Each structure stands twice: as C-alpha cells, then as structure tokens.
Structure 1
Amino acid sequence: MSKSYIIILCWLTMLLAACSKEKGIEALPDNSVAFDLKAGEDTVVMPLSIQADSIITVNFKAILSGSPSSTDHWVNFAVDTSKMSAYRLKYGAALALPSNSYLFYKSQTRLTAGSSTSEPTQLNIVMQTKLTEYTTYVLPIVIQSVDGKLEGPAKTEVLYYVFKTGAPLVISKTGWTIAGVSSIFGSFVAPNVIDDNKTGTYWTSNITQSMPQWISINFNRDITFSTVSYSVPTLLNYPAQGGYPTSMQIETSMDGNTWVDKGTFAGDINNNTQAINIGTTKARYLRFTSLASVKYAGVYSAIFISDISLVP
C-alpha cells in the first residue's frame, strides 16, 4: 500500500469521526420523557416492615414517548420534598420519608439508542427501625434532568413512593418527652431513659431520697402496646452494686391527669433488662414507679434506669 493511500485513508477516518462528533446527541422533543407508569398513575404503594434494619432496593424507569431515539440519553432522578404539599392535598396526611432512611445508589440511568424505556435506577431504603409504627411515609421523586438539561424533555410530573409501616419490634420513641420526674441526681437526667442509648446514659434518682421514685413519659401520640421494657446500665454490674428496682408500679393515662393502675410487678432483670407484660393497652402517657429497690453500694436508696421502651 502506497504512502499516499495511507494518508488519504487516515484523513477520511478523521473526517468521519469529526462528522460523528458534530452530530452529537439527538435532541428530544419537550415533555417526551416521563416515569414508566400506567397512564394516570403517580403513586407506588408498598408495605414497609420496621422490625429490623435492612437494605431494600427500589427500582423505577423513565420512558420516552414517540419514536425511539437514535442515540443514547441520560436521565437523572432526584428527591423533591417540596412536592409533599401537593401529595397531601391530593391524598391526605403523610410524612416525608426522613433523609437518613434512603440513599440513591444509582440516580442516573441510560435510555439506550433504539429503546423507549431506560435502564432501571436504584434507590435504597434503610434504617427502618427509626420510623414510626403504623405511619404513611412518602418519597416524592422527580426527573431532575435529561442529558444535563433541567427543562425540555423532562415532564413536571412526580412519582410518589408511599411506604406504610406496620408493627415494630420496639415502638419508636420519636416525639417522646418527659412529662415529670420525682427527683434526679446530678447530670443523670430523666430524658436519658428515652434517648435509645441503653448502656451509656441513664437517669438516677436523688441518692438522698428514699423510694418510691417515679418518672412519667408523654408519647405525644396515642400508642397501643402490651409490654413495658426497662433496662439498667451495664456499669451497675447487676446485681453486684444494687441501684435497681425490686418492685414497680406501671400506670397509664390518656391526658396526663387521670391514671390507670396496670399493676405492681416484682423485679426480674435478665441481661440488664426486664419486660413487663401489662396486657394490650392504649395510652398517651406512662408512669413508671420504683416502689422498692436494692440500695446502691449498700448505702444509697437510688435507682439507675438507662432505658424505658414499649413493645407492641
């Protein structure tokens, strides 16, 4: 092959490549890319177990109306919580899924040449145990851009992923507050029993006072439960150092004023925790009273409680 022929062939190759680059990505008509859903639908509803944390994968696609494109296109999805007001107006009360409960593993997907449907995107749902029982959570998803353009092919529609939680393994303490306490010692304050830290923080009653000592909790919502669980801190080296209750009274209330006695129970701690079954109960407030205790270090009449929880 002559040298001049090789030069001409190389020149033609570069010319074709340049023409291909100039052609670029085929422009899509406005409002031609949407969510791959049945006509008229904008929600996907799914139950969500909150009894354990796991990674749940949610997939969805984009669809191109009209004729398939001759070139690849890239579609970006995003969460837009500003759309929650529109959801509530249309469907009723719901909470936005907290940002720590989801993660876009793959927010960009490809709509390949010759196809009308994109590859699936991937959204991971996590930390389910932090969600509230029997609650509707919504994640509004929008098409953020197509080929980097915020307007044009992307429609303004929203895909609402609706998650409905069921019974928890342990009822969420979100929104709980302390309604009252008989006494505290130093910095070992009452809110430590509802901070979900069963080992590092705890409430201690005043060491100069005697039993009974009590603490009351406002759930700030009506909760149905059957068991009250409490824990003592590991630093007590139970039962060696004392500081734990041996007799307890459990009371519940709907208004924080009128209390229902659910019974008196003997201490029976196992692995630093005791579960007290009081029967199926609906309440807004709980009062936990230590009627008697083992003295801490054999001297101080005080109790150390690191956690109070409810079980369905």
Structure 2
Amino acid sequence: MRKINIITICSLIVLLMGCSKENDLVSLPDGSVSFAQAAGSDTIEMPVSILLDNTLVLEIKAALSGSASSDKHHVTFAVDTTKILEYRAKYGAALLPPSTSYLFFKPTVVIPAGASVSEAAQLNIGQQTKLTEYSTYVLPVVIKSVDGKIEGAATSRVIYYVFKTGKPLFVNKTGWAIVGQSSVNGTQVAANLLDANNLTTYWGTTITATMPQWVTINFNREVSFIAVNYYLPTLLKYPTLGGYPKTIQIETSMNGTTWVNKGVFPGNIAADGSQSIDVGATTARYLRFTVLSSEKYISGASLYEAIFISGISLVP
C-alpha cells in the first residue's frame, strides 16, 4: 500500500510540474503575432475556374514580431465573415462564398521555440461550380487566438483572400423565361426546359400536332454564346422510343420581333442524350428553338410526331 501511495504522489508531482511549466509560458506583447504577409498588403487575389470542382489548398502562416520566441506558441486562424463589410467599403462590391465551399482543415498551428514563423495552416476551397461567373468572392481571415487567448498577442489585421471567377461551363439561366411555344402535352410544360434537371423533367409537344414545333426563350438580358445545347429525357431510352429531333432550326433576336436565322442543323445526339449545336459567336436577348422534323415517338402500336426535350442551355 505504501509503495502505491509513493507512486501516486510522484505522479501528482510530475503533473503539477507540467502545469507549472504551462503556467510559466512566456506572455507575448500585445499585437505581436500577425500574418506572415508583407506589411501594407491585405489582399491575396487569385483566379478560380468554375468549370469543375477541385480542392484548392491555401497555406497561411503566422509570424512573431521582434526576436524569436523562447517557448512554442499556438496560433488559431478563422474566417470572419463580418469583415466583408470592411472589404466592400475599401475595395468595392464582393460576395461571400457559400459556407459549404470552404473549410479550415488545419486552423491551429505552432510557432516553435526558437522560431518566429509558424508552420502552415490549411484552408481548403471547393465546390467552385456553385459560384457565379465573372464575380468577385472574398474570404476574410483573422487570427482568432494565440495560446487560447482571444485578446492580447493576436493582431487585429485581416487578410482578404479574393477569388475572381471567369467563364462558366454554361450561361447562367437566372431571369430566363418561356414566352411562347407551339404546343404542350398536358403537364409537360416548356418551363421545364429552364430548370436544373436535364434528365427527368421535360417539355413535351401534343401528340396530335405535326412538325414543326418550337419554343421561344427570353433571356431578359443580352447574352453572348457560341453554342446551344439541348437534352433528351431518360424516359425516351434514346434512341429506342423516338420522340427526338432530326432537324433543328436556331434563330436569335434582340427584340423578339426581328429574327436572325443561325442555321438548320441535323440531329446528332450523343450517347448521353444531348447535342451541342455550334452557332458561332452570338449575342442575343431571345432564342427560338424549332424542331423541323423528328423521329416518330412510339407508344404501344402507335406512332406520333411528338418531341420531348428536357433542357436547353447556352455555351459561352
């Protein structure tokens, strides 16, 4: 029993010595820990492609002013979205990225004893395809704490990571509207061409009509593009059931009245049920998509000239 008590006492002494050492951690002067970033520069700008999603890893280091530290110190970084207001006041319009598109994989780092610069924190950026084209996104990063203390050694400096987005895979459909169609089959309305679902929702023409069948889209702004993409719904089991275009006419307009014929194109649908029609560099406010002839749709023992299209997009 006496031996066990001696071991317990020794363990407590070691623990108390460790706590004493931790409590004896040298305090750093106020504002002495900042970013390892050149003074006078508070922005780091980079282009970001929104054509696909990938993980972009940003490395952030802390720096201790003055001489090297005699102890190791823990520095924690964080994103402070409230600082976007200061950025806008200083530099102009900017957006915050969606919270799901960034993650501090490693927010806390160490400035080793005998050093003045920390190891690198890691801020991961992703989901670029959810960002809007030709926009400025900003992530304000601050030093949240030093050795667990929010006030004191941590500087109030903010570093703004600025992401400039460019050309999208497809032109954004926000504001688009259907302003005319040749026919509709029940609930298979033409507005389904503009939703985000290119597989199961679709525009269907009435089975009693004949070709041509058309739909007109108002972009409600000037849009520049080089190609028109359309998609077939999976229900057609292309090319088994028909119901898809064999020839297509593309027309554009600036006022919805005077039309420019961009050409008549053969249906050349890929195995995934889509086709991209190259119309050359075009700027327009309206698009008229006309199916001049189609592969007859098979329903039981009957054939119909109906067509089914699940989406229309523009390639910039």
| Counterpart-to-counterpart distance in 2, 1:221 and 1:158 | 37
Which residue identity does 1:273 align to in structure 2?
S
Change (3 A) 1:247 1:106: same
Matched position secondary structure for 2:265: strand
Task: Compute the displacement of 1:209 (Å).
Answer: 4.1
Task: Compute the displacement of 1:77 (Å).
Answer: 2.1
1:177-216 equivalence runs, <5 A: 177-182=176-181, 183-216=183-216
Q: Which deviations, in whole Å up to 9, do the C-alpha atoms of 1:123-164 show, x marking residues without a partner?
A: 222222333333332222222233333333323322111122
Task: Compute the displacement of 1:227 (Å).
Answer: 0.9
Which residue identity does 2:76 align to in structure 1?
N
**Percentage of pairs with the same residue:** 54
Which residue identity does 2:170 align to in structure 1?
I
| Counterpart-to-counterpart distance in 2, 1:90 and 1:204 | 51
Give the conservation status (yes or no) of the 8 Å contact 1:132–1:171.
no
Q: Does 1:225 align with 2:225?
A: yes
Which residue identity does 1:281 align to in structure 2?
T
Give the conservation status (yes or no) of the 8 Å contact 2:218–2:287.
yes
Task: Compute the displacement of 1:219 (Å).
Answer: 4.5
Q: Does 1:164 align with 2:168?
A: no
Which residue identity does 1:87 align to in structure 2?
Y
Task: Compute the displacement of 1:172 (Å).
Answer: 4.6
Change (3 A) 1:17 1:124: closer
| Counterpart-to-counterpart distance in 2, 1:12 and 1:148 | 25
Question: 2:276: which partner in 1?
Answer: 275
Change (3 A) 1:199 1:220: same
Give the conservation status (yes or no) of the 8 Å contact 2:297–2:304.
yes
Give the conservation status (yes or no) of the 8 Å contact 2:178–2:190.
no
Change (3 A) 1:221 1:152: farther
1:110-189 equivalence runs, <5 A: 110-168=110-168, 170-173=169-172, 175-182=174-181, 183-189=183-189
| Counterpart-to-counterpart distance in 1, 2:85 and 2:15 | 55
1:283-294 equivalence runs, <5 A: 283-294=284-295
| Counterpart-to-counterpart distance in 2, 1:15 and 1:95 | 50
Which residue identity does 1:245 align to in structure 2?
P
Count of equivalent residues: 305
| Counterpart-to-counterpart distance in 1, 2:119 and 2:193 | 48
| Counterpart-to-counterpart distance in 2, 1:12 and 1:267 | 84
Question: 2:315: which partner in 1?
Answer: 311
Change (3 A) 1:188 1:39: same
Mind listing any 5+ residue stretches in structure 1 that lack a counterpart? Answer: none
Matched position secondary structure for 1:96: coil
Matched position secondary structure for 2:85: helix
Mind listing any 5+ residue stretches in structure 2 that lack a counterpart? Answer: none
| Counterpart-to-counterpart distance in 2, 1:100 and 1:172 | 23
Give the conservation status (yes or no) of the 8 Å contact 1:29–1:153.
yes
Question: 1:77: which partner in 2?
Answer: 77
Matched position secondary structure for 2:177: strand
Give the conservation status (yes or no) of the 8 Å contact 1:63–1:116.
yes
Runs of 4+ in 1 over 6 A off after TM superposition: none
Q: In terms of mean alpha carbon deviation, does 223-232 or 148-157 score higher?
A: 148-157
Which residue identity does 1:305 align to in structure 2?
I
| Counterpart-to-counterpart distance in 2, 1:235 and 1:101 | 34
The root-mean-square deviation of aligned C-alpha atoms, in Å, is: 3.0
What is the TM-score when the length of structure 1 is the normalising length?
Answer: 0.83
| Counterpart-to-counterpart distance in 1, 2:34 and 2:254 | 48
Task: Compute the displacement of 1:181 (Å).
Answer: 4.3
Task: Compute the displacement of 1:232 (Å).
Answer: 0.7
Task: Compute the displacement of 1:184 (Å).
Answer: 3.7
Task: Compute the displacement of 1:236 (Å).
Answer: 0.7
Change (3 A) 1:157 1:198: same
Question: 1:247: which partner in 2?
Answer: 247
Change (3 A) 1:299 1:20: same
| Counterpart-to-counterpart distance in 1, 2:46 and 2:206 | 48
What is the TM-score when the length of structure 2 is the normalising length?
Answer: 0.82
| Counterpart-to-counterpart distance in 1, 2:282 and 2:211 | 26
